[in-house]
């Protein structure tokens, strides 16, 4: 008999089927966590069901249960919620279709949650560049890296300042306890699912409900960065969108939204003003090899324009 499934992995496929095979091949060779097995669920969000053939081929070759689901509604919350509803595990983990986990990724996330009793565990996301190296304007690849460099099992304060550089928390490379995190019909808000802000909204809601977040440094995924995503203009747009998501989520989950709105606006204005001044004083405007203050201005502007339509950044499709 097959061991009981203790953790389910949900992978969303939007348009990037050309990267999905790498993600699933790495995922399906995971070592089973202690005490049970695992399953993979792929949810296809393309109306033409682009991933169906690939998933069918891999499922026929895999000893790990691999399920294909689809929903043509272009809303990432819809497909996340569909994957959660189909999951059999005590925990649900996510990684994206452009990411590939290391072989012990799932074991490490599961062990961390079991050991700590936490509600959510997060691991590092490290970049793997198509071009073979980080872009010249971000030589340490900080803006493509999620690594808090904290001790194993260290608690994460959602509203604290954990680091000055790097990307923020999301559902990519995270595992959630179903009973405490997905205890409502639509854990990911559909209202926040049309522009990739759904995970920020969920994490704010869980943090305000007192859920425990922990860091798992040994649960590593590696994100494949296509060359077009190393364009600094792409990153400026991405940082603005992320800041819009932050502002909208913070205000929406607040008990005092009007006050929070004022605080967020004040923060955005200060951030934009300081970086605009430094952009001029530092001479950053004279070249194309430094983007620190351009990105800082974009973050400030995002907080000030969170009501504007956000939308997805158009990227290469399959």
Give the tens place of pLDDT for each residue, 136-174.
999 999 999 999 999 999 999 876 544 445 567 888 899
Same domain, 63 and 147: yes
Q: Distance from CA of residue 58 to its chain's centroid?
A: 24
Where is the domain boundary, 229, 255, 272?
229
Domain tally, the chain: 2
Whether residue 312 is contained in a domain is answered as no
pLDDT at position 311: 56
What is the per-residue pLDDT for 307?
Answer: 85
User: Is residue 123 located within the same domain as residue 257?
Assistant: no
| pLDDT number for residue 163 | 43
In a domain, 297, yes or no: yes
Both 183 and 116 in a single domain?
yes
Looking at the fold, whether 51 and 189 belong to one and the same domain comes out as yes
DSSP tag of 313:
P
On whether both 220 and 236 belong to a single domain, the answer is no
Return the pLDDT at 309. Answer: 64
pLDDT higher than 80, residue 33: yes
Whole domain around residue 258: which residue ranges?
A: 232-304
Q: What is the DSSP letter of 155?
A: B
Domain presence at residue 310 = no
In a domain? residue 314: no
Q: 221 - beta bridge partners?
A: 101, 125
Q: How far is Cα 199 from Cα 27, in angstroms, rounded to an integer?
A: 21
Euclidean distance between CA atoms 275 and 296, whole angstroms = 6
Q: Do 200 and 66 share a structural domain? A: yes
Do 157 and 28 lie in a common domain? yes
E-strand ranges in the chain read: 5-13, 37-44, 66-70, 91-96, 99-101, 120-122, 125-129, 174-177, 213-215, 221-225
Secondary structure class of 78 (helix, strand, coil): helix
310 — pLDDT class (breaks 50, 70, 90): low
> Average of pLDDT values for 184-200?
89
Mean pLDDT, residues 250-269 taken together: 95
Place of tokens 């999301």: 170
Q: What percent of the chain has a predicted confidence (pLDDT) above 70? A: 94
In a domain, 91, yes or no: yes
* Six token digits for residue 93: 């983990």
Task: Check whether residue 66 and residue 157 sit in a common domain.
Answer: yes
Q: Is residue 165 part of a domain?
A: yes
pLDDT of residue 165: 52
The reported pLDDT for the residue numbered 120 is: 98
The 10 Å CB-count burial string (b at 16+, else e) for 143-179 is bbbbbbebeeeeebebeeeeeeebbebbbbbbbbbbe
Q: Do residues 255 and 142 share a domain?
A: no
Of the residues 201, 229, 257, which one is the last residue of a structural domain?
229
Helix ranges (DSSP H) in 253-284: 257-281
Task: Give the model confidence (pLDDT) of 277-296 as tens digits.
Answer: 999 999 998 887 889 999 99
> Has residue 308 got a pLDDT over 60?
yes
Mean pLDDT lowest for which of 71-75, 88-92, 208-212, 314-318? 314-318
**Mean pLDDT for the chain?**
91
Domain annotation covers residue 315: no
Please list the residues that pair with 96 across neighbouring strands.
12
Mode of pairing for the β-strands spanning 221-225 and 125-129: parallel
Task: Answer for the pair 106, 30: CB distance below 8 angstroms, yes or no.
Answer: yes
Same-domain check for residues 225 and 253: no
Which residue, among 247, 7, 186, has the nearest Cα to 106 in the 3D structure?
7
- Is there a single domain that holds both residue 168 and residue 287? no
Confidence of residue 314 (pLDDT cuts 50, 70, 90): low
Domain boundary among the residues 229, 259, 281 is at 229
Say if 309 falls within a structural domain.
no
Closest of 99, 95, 217 to residue 153, by C-alpha: 217
Q: What mean pLDDT is predicted for residues 288-316?
A: 82
Say if residue 262 is in the same domain as residue 120.
no
């Amino acid at each position: 008999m097959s061991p009981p499934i203790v953790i389910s992995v949900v992978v969303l496929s939007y348009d990037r089927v050309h990267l999905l095979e790498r993600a699933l091949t790495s995922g399906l060779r995971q070592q089973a966590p202690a005490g049970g097995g695992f399953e993979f669920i792929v949810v296809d969000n393309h109306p033409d069901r682009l991933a169906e053939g690939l998933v069918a081929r891999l499922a026929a070759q895999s000893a790990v249960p691999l399920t294909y689901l689809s929903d043509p509604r272009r809303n990432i919350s819809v497909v996340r919620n569909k994957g959660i509803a189909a999951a059999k595990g005590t925990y649900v983990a996510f990684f994206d279709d452009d990411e590939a986990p290391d072989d012990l990724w799932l074991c490490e996330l599961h062990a961390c949650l079991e050991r700590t009793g936490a509600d959510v565990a997060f691991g590092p996301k490290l970049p793997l560049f198509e071009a073979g190296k980080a872009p010249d304007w971000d030589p340490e690849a900080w803006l493509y890296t999620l690594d808090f460099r904290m001790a194993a099992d260290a608690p994460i304060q959602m509203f604290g300042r954990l680091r000055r550089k790097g990307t923020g928390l999301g559902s990519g490379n995270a595992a959630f306890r179903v009973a405490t995190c997905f205890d409502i019909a639509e854990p990911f808000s559909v209202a926040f699912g049309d522009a990739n802000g759904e995970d920020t909204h969920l994490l704010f809601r869980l943090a305000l409900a007192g859920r425990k977040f922990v860091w798992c440094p040994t649960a590593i995924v590696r994100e494949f960065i296509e060359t077009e995503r190393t364009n600094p203009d792409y990153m400026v747009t991405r940082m603005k969108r992320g800041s819009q998501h932050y502002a909208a989520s913070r205000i929406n989950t607040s008990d005092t939204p009007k006050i929070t709105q004022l605080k967020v606006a004040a923060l955005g204005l200060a951030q934009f003003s300081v970086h605009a001044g430094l952009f001029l004083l530092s001479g950053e405007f004279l070249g194309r090899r430094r983007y620190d203050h351009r990105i800082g201005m974009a973050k400030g502007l995002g907080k000030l324009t969170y009501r504007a339509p956000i939308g997805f950044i158009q990227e290469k499709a399959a």
